[in-house]
A and B are shown apart, each in its own frame.
Chain A
Amino acid sequence: MTAAVTIEKFTSLTPSEFFYRNKEIAGFSNPSRALYQTVRELVENALDATDAHGILPVIKVSIKRDGGHEKDNIFSVTVEDNGIGIPPNHIPSAFGQLLYSSKYILRQTRGMFGLGAKMAVLYGQVTTGKPVEVISAPINSRKIYYFKLRIDIKNNKPIILEKAQYSKTNDWHGTIVKVYLEGDWSRSKSKIYEYLRRTAVIAPYAELVFSDPEGNIVYFERSTNKMPPPPREVKPHPYGVDLEMMKMMLQLTTAETLLDFLVKEFQCVGEITARKILAQAGLPTDANPHKLTMEDVEKLIRTIKKFKDIKPPRANHLSYLGEEIIETGLKAILRPEFVAAVTRKPSVYEGHAFIVEVGLAYGGGIKASDRPQLLRYANKIPLLYDEGSDVSFKIVNEEIDWNYYGISFPAPLVVLVHICSTKIPYKGVGKESIADVPEIEREIIAAIREVARKLKMYLSKKRKEMEEAEKAVTIAKYIPEVAQALAKIVDNVKPEDLESRLLALLNQKLKAFKIRSVDEVVVGIE
């Protein structure tokens, strides 16, 4: 939405021209970043085409060096999904027209700006001159469609270069997108791998295959069939609408009166509330929404911001992951010895509903580090850059007293923070770090404390177990010796009987720990 607003200020530029000149806003600032961003945009589209529709994702990503060029830094990025596919009449616009899907209906999806893959197409086209290739088979369709497209930058329109359709011979559905672009594999390699790894953590229900330009193939296997609830579309809450958005909504609405507009286009606004708002703003209920003056729009916004009687925004449309999925993902990818997750109850900041989820993983396959390793996500998108300026970074490094929870660094600790909201309060244009919004900060701290308490309990139980195990061994190691010696002195007593009895007696005394057999402890007597 922010982007849409910004564009309006540059009316002389088409959206495609604007974005081309301001590539860094969408994350395409240089060949290394562009390659990473392309993978990311296509993978996120692929996930949106699957899990948001109840399909267990199978996603194949391939980056190849494209031969036959003068430059050796041209790559093709191909991403295939098993999603719902795209109807053929939408494909040209979906890939060849920026801001095509922009609507003021809010739905929490991964794609940024509603730009999705289009920036990648645009960047690829400009750096390599090559068109994008799209193959898609919509679900329930009997055809497979093929398009070769480029973007008419000046007019922000798709140009169809080739187009074909085939009959399906099986029931495959999904989309394959292939983009050519100038990239820098060696510089983006670690980020791309890290991105996929973090995606695998948060989407353990997905099957991910990646083949890189060096011929390596990485496979992230599906570790659960449980998926998060799909996000649902929701109308904006009055508190969350700013001036520019209000103007756009007023323009696009089908309502004929202002009263109708408020009731129809916003959540939590009924007729009574709407009348009160309008009365307070001094606006007629039957005014034509399309014909409000700038002054009236500002009056309406001001009134709404001051108006206290609107119910807080609903959060049932938010697609959180849930504790089980976070725990499964952390376990599958990090192989920790301990994992715990919490999904907080929905909360609100500035008229936007949000949910904070936190996962903790400790020990096992995690390497110790001097500070908590942070995995940040916003609306299921891994955030890799600008970690130091993120609110979560500040919290895990400054707000939480890890010593209190029995952890002293260096320690093998991973903290996952997921924020889902219809509007993520990003810091800056890069959209890679989240701002210090007090409501969100509070929720993150509460969530971390909740899981950290579980970790504390686990650690103290483990410590007790270790102490007990140590104690048990100091006794168990002598069992064979005692049994042999007693059996030698006392008639008709077998050492095996004494041994098993002594072990049983010892185990009876132990609480958290048992020794299965004496052989577990005693290796030999020489």
Chain B
Amino acid sequence: MALTYVSSKDLKARGRALEILRSKFGEIAKQILEGRTPIMVIKKRTLANTIFDREKGILRIGDESLRRSFLNAGEAKKFMQTVLMASIIYDTLVNNEYPTIRDLYYRGKHTIRYRKLPSKKVVEENTWDEQKESDSVIRDIEVFIDMLREELLILSKEKGKVVGNMRIRSGDDMIDLSKMGHGAYAIEPTPDFIEFVDIDAEYVLVIEKDAVFQQLHRAGFWKKYKVILVTSAGQPDRATRRFVRRLNEELGLPIYVLTDADPYGWYIYSVFKVGSITLSYESERLATPKSKFLGVSMVDIFGSKKLGKKPYLTEAERKNFIIKAKDKDIKRAKELMNYSWFRTKRWEHEIEIFLSKKAKLEIEALTSKGLRFLMDKYIPEKIETGDWID
């Protein structure tokens, strides 16, 4: 997979990554050669060790560390997997490759044949069986060497898309995001290597649902309202989050997020805004604390006497569009209530309405009311009146 052309930016990144890998794992080798127990100290990626930094408005990884010792029978396998994965990543860096996490999974998957003692029975074991094992080890390495996978030139599946009146340089090509036809530009896995050339937009609208993104795109919404339209197509991947963050941070564009009206939609918004629990170590780069939740809110559906707001949906529409919340939705909502970054008056109000009405709604319901309603009334009106949750 060696490329004939190698970008100089990538080369520089590779050199840095190799150096850090050598130094971090050199310490482990040194421990061994000096007759000390090899131990990796890695920050814990658990909810308990996830801190909400109110000042910065992002999730950060806490200071609790786990000490992964090779000589501990319960940790030996993870230790082996971590070192094995590091050596595979090292290889791909040296060979100028761009592996996906799936590639790394296959490359490291092999069989160890060993004898059980004292029975001497020969048995087999795989270095790892499922990709989630190797994925977890990749995250450990990111935390252990304090580098992100993008910096290690590891690609992930592209999911996020963008259109708008904007030109960028990716690799050595200039791309005009306003000339993508009915398609859209797939946000590349290493968005840091994208160069913003010029832009004409007033804000960014991030939409959870790909289908709604396509409808707005075809209807010319972004042209009419000078919007950069982005979709995460579900849970946002790292590249989409980083891209959105750069739009906000470097270009000063306001970010509005539009999701389904349910706990999963709310969490997607919060991932954009403060970061995720499993990847809290990356929030510093990926989170966009200034993003705003545009909708669809419970208040939009039911109105609120407390806030003095009328609903966007009539009684009849509610009857047609609302979906009854399932037990797992209720459970998830209650979990969110415990997350400190959801403990604001406005969010508590949202969740309370949800728990009392036990109802959820998809964005598609608003397009059913009429695409025009969504693009010409709901979105512009809410932005104009500042009707969002921060």
Contact = CB atoms under 8 A, between A and B. Distances in A.
Interface of A: 465-466, 469-478, 481-482, 484-491, 493, 497-498, 501-502, 504-506, 509, 513, 515, 520-526
19 contacts: A472-B117, A474-B77, A477-B114, A477-B125, A481-B127, A482-B79, A485-B80, A486-B29, A487-B29, A488-B87, A489-B25, A501-B33, A502-B70, A505-B35, A505-B37, A505-B38, A513-B117, A515-B117, A520-B117
Contacts of A481: 80, 83-84, 112, 127
A470 B86 contact: no
A-B pairs, top 4 by smallest CB distance, nearest first, are: A485-B87, A478-B80, A477-B114, A523-B113
Q: Choose among A484, A486, A491, A515 the residue with the greatest number of B CB atoms under 10 Å from its CB.
A: A486
B32 A501 contact: yes
A474 B125 CA distance: 11
Nearest to B122: A523
B76 A478 contact: yes
B387 to A, nearest CB: 54
Interface string B201-235: 00000000000000000000000000000000000
B73 A486 contact: no
B50 to A, nearest CB: 30
A522 B114 contact: yes
Main secondary structure of the interface of A (DSSP, over half): helix
A488 B87 CA distance: 6
B378 interface: no
Contact of A522 (B26, B38, B113): B113
Contacts of A474: 73, 76-77
A488 B77 CA distance: 19
B112 A477 contact: yes
A400 B117 CA distance: 33
Contact of A493 (B29, B91, B110, B111): B29
Contacts of B32: 486, 498, 501-502, 505
A525 B35 contact: no
Contact of B116 (A473, A485, A497, A502): A473
B115 interface: yes
A482 B115 CA distance: 18
A482 B83 CA distance: 6
Contacts of B21: 489
B302 interface: no
A505 B70 CA distance: 10
A489 B117 contact: no
A522 B116 CA distance: 9
A469 B86 contact: no
Contacts of A470: 116-117
B180 interface: no
Contacts of B112: 477-478, 481, 522, 524-525
B162 to A, nearest CB: 37
B71 interface: yes
B22 interface: yes
B116 A489 contact: no
B268 to A, nearest CB: 37
A513 to B, nearest CB: 8
Contacts of B80: 478, 481-482, 485
A489 B87 contact: yes
Contacts of A524: 112-113
A472 B115 CA distance: 11
A523 B86 CA distance: 24
B144 interface: no
